[in-house]
Structure 1
């Protein structure tokens, strides 16, 4: 069992003395610091202490490992009787049987354990000394398993703090790779794309064996048969930001896909018929489709679309613009709750975006649920019993933003969260009151664009908390930073903050 690992380490390193289980069997446990580790030790103890034959000891090991209650009920008196015949009192014999029973479900045979140990040392060394390459390999092993990729990527981003590159048609391959010490996200890891379709794109990037990035979306359409790639994979690439290097307006690209696919098909049909343009390569004389004029998705919309393609939030989190007011209401992050729970149980408030929930029925017929959520520091699961579930069900739809009050405890180094109540996040934010914004811009025109957003907010968000607005103009043409205060208070909500952040010329938005 896992709880024996600290004892094993402490005994091996001389921190504590090895405890005797019984003089008859201590020699069997000598190489494993007095702790049962191998299945062979179970069999040896049964043979030496209780007089089992090796065949009988193997049957005992099997019954313990499979938790066969009837067999175990027969074996206990047999073990105790055999041990007593060897001078062991019944109480001690029962204690040893309990020890064997507790171990058996966790143990490996020695040869199996040795192989696992070698692999563990190898992978631990690789992760410690070549973490980017190691994580790329691990993620390629599970490239089609989104749930596992989410865990691995959290390890990359949070725990290991490794450099990474988002999915990009000009930099990514179909699989994960390492370039200049950074993990490059795989195009083939996106949902509903397929490795072969992504290889059509990465192969099209190569010219005479050398990597030649696409210059524009139309260049890509001429070099890659987008009809063969398929519209659905192209939509996923757009949602994930795979075309950002060619056009930062994801919504415009998304709405232009039909035209791009048709243009690409015409170019490749011309190539297939060996038609040569008077102007150069095939397709050069075909008119490029017009890109639809439209505003990009707002930051929250971009993240929602990104989630559809990646399976988790990659470039940011929907709660990024909520954290200021949530802090004022005493809401903690998952990382903070985890750290506090290691010191003891606590009741805390957590913000989260609901990813999903599974409802079950207890033996008494009461409904309970497991709800999966995430905040800006990671994903977590909350258990909700019947009363809490009934009161909160309408707030637990996928995509909902909530604040959940939880009882947090640590069990075997795992955070356990029991939900007490769930509230919509907008109500909590409204109760937090207003705070001002300090907006960093790199062009005077951005100030006018922000002013337009604020003017609209005054009409649309009359009941929102208000705060002062300050600008910091960071223009290289000026001798220093120029600060501008609008001299009035304006409605400030997470949605308004997100809208401001999405404007051209806005570098950063922070709360004051």
Structure 2
């Protein structure tokens, strides 16, 4: 059936979005097996389209919901449903898909409490089977879930990965969102702006005459990838980038394909430099790739430096040694091959009456990975760590929002 065909489901959801229809995440207290429409004409995700759940498990959940009403929390859900049909694996998939978000806790907390909830539900079932009910026929209390410290919410990346694995798409966000601020100083424009500026499409000031090529840098998530072979036997690829504002197909011809083949994969965030030309068929643009980077390589290629801001109080509390300890595993030698020469690190020292920049030596160039960024943000604070990008021809800064702080 179509419910089992994830690619078809994803395609239909994309069509709904393009038509301006809202698609709500699955909800164990609202969704049916198949997709539906609520009273506000919004599409409600069907539980049957969640990978790893299955029809028998969904029917068990829906039957109990129709009989006993909505599930107020995770423990109530585990106690009331048939755990032989909706087991731990099913419940984990429901959590990762967001189908239990309405049960009062975030996904990380639900996952952390699942084992205790299942244990309590199993004991509840044994007590009921043994006739250990109270005077009014109900189960004896005392098998709740012990309170424990609430774990932190999942980062956006983990949340979206869970959705991708269980739903086949990113439903509540986009992986590019966390990078939008810094991408402003790399890209020429957002893809949606290119569409608005295209010849024959509105009155955009940057409209380009047909057949005139121009250089551009574009970033986005690879949502489609097709590899083919020319009549001469050369392999080429066509990939579609999505940056939340629009989509653009990019041709990767044989020379670029051989050079950047390891980077070409679906669900990968890429930065592409190439030539834009008008597409007379669609009225928009098409692009051929000259250079391709992942986000780490793009930072190394375009960033002037990685800046960490500290104040006098932090400096007096062992900040420098902590900074060195964090940077050490990410240090690289200058002149490394494949664009991995690293990024310089500067420390911006602030006092109430002055500020100064201190550039660390060449031996402290680092690989600008997401992991390094996260560790530095934990040390100094999210707003005190940033990449500062060089001004570039073609990087118009119109793209994703506020750019890096001025130098």
Q: Same fold (TM over 0.5)?
A: yes
Distance 1:196 1:294, change over 3 A: same
Provide the residue aligned with 1:231 in structure 2: 88
Distance 1:244 1:143, change over 3 A: same
Provide the residue aligned with 1:352 in structure 2: 220
Which residue among 137, 140, 150 is the counterpart of 2:10?
150
> CA offset at residue 221 of structure 1?
0.9
Give the conservation status (yes or no) of the 8 Å contact 2:296–2:369.
Answer: no
Which residue among 276, 279, 287 is the counterpart of 1:410?
279
> CA offset at residue 199 of structure 1?
3.1
Alignment of 1:298-309 (within 5 A): 298-309=155-166
Give the conservation status (yes or no) of the 8 Å contact 1:348–1:406.
Answer: yes
Cα distance between partner residues in 1 of 2:241 and 2:192: 14
Give the conservation status (yes or no) of the 8 Å contact 2:306–2:344.
Answer: no
- Show structure 2 runs of 5+ residues with no match: 201-209, 309-318, 329-342, 349-353, 359-367, 384-400
Provide the residue aligned with 2:258 in structure 1: 390
**1:405 aligned counterpart, secondary structure:** strand
Give the conservation status (yes or no) of the 8 Å contact 2:117–2:144.
Answer: no
Provide the residue aligned with 1:424 in structure 2: 294
Cα distance between partner residues in 2 of 1:465 and 1:278: 71
Taking structure 2 as the reference length, what is the TM-score of the superposition? 0.65
Provide the residue aligned with 1:162 in structure 2: 21
Q: Deviations over 1:247-293 (max 9, x none)?
A: 54323433443443443344345445655246863374434366686
Alignment of 1:16-415 (within 5 A): 142-157=2-17, 159-181=18-40, 182-207=42-67, 211-212=69-70, 214-271=71-128, 275-277=132-134, 281-282=138-139, 284-288=141-145, 294-343=151-200, 344=210, 346=213, 347-354=215-222, 357-371=225-239, 373-378=241-246, 381-408=249-276, 409-410=278-279, 412-413=281-282
Cα distance between partner residues in 1 of 2:99 and 2:139: 26
**2:160 aligned counterpart, secondary structure:** helix
Cα distance between partner residues in 2 of 1:461 and 1:299: 24
Give the conservation status (yes or no) of the 8 Å contact 1:325–1:432.
Answer: no
Cα distance between partner residues in 2 of 1:315 and 1:489: 39
**2:120 aligned counterpart, secondary structure:** helix
> CA offset at residue 231 of structure 1?
3.0
**2:184 aligned counterpart, secondary structure:** helix
Cα distance between partner residues in 2 of 1:487 and 1:311: 49
Question: When you count helix as a share of all residues, which structure comes out higher?
Answer: 1
Cα distance between partner residues in 1 of 2:140 and 2:285: 58
Distance 1:398 1:458, change over 3 A: farther
- Show structure 1 runs of 5+ residues with no match: 1-140, 438-452, 469-485
Give the conservation status (yes or no) of the 8 Å contact 1:222–1:283.
Answer: no
Q: Deviations over 1:215-252 (max 9, x none)?
A: 22111111222341133332222112222222543234
**1:312 aligned counterpart, secondary structure:** coil
Taking structure 1 as the reference length, what is the TM-score of the superposition? 0.53
> CA offset at residue 169 of structure 1?
2.0
Q: Deviations over 1:446-497 (max 9, x none)?
A: xxxxxxx9x97897469577799xxxxxxxxxxxxxxxxx98999x997758
> CA offset at residue 403 of structure 1?
0.4
Cα distance between partner residues in 1 of 2:163 and 2:112: 16
Cα distance between partner residues in 2 of 1:267 and 1:325: 52
Pick the structure with greater CA Rg: 1
Greater RCO (CA < 8 Å, at least 6 residues apart): 2
> CA offset at residue 156 of structure 1?
3.5
Cα distance between partner residues in 2 of 1:435 and 1:301: 25
> CA offset at residue 422 of structure 1?
0.8
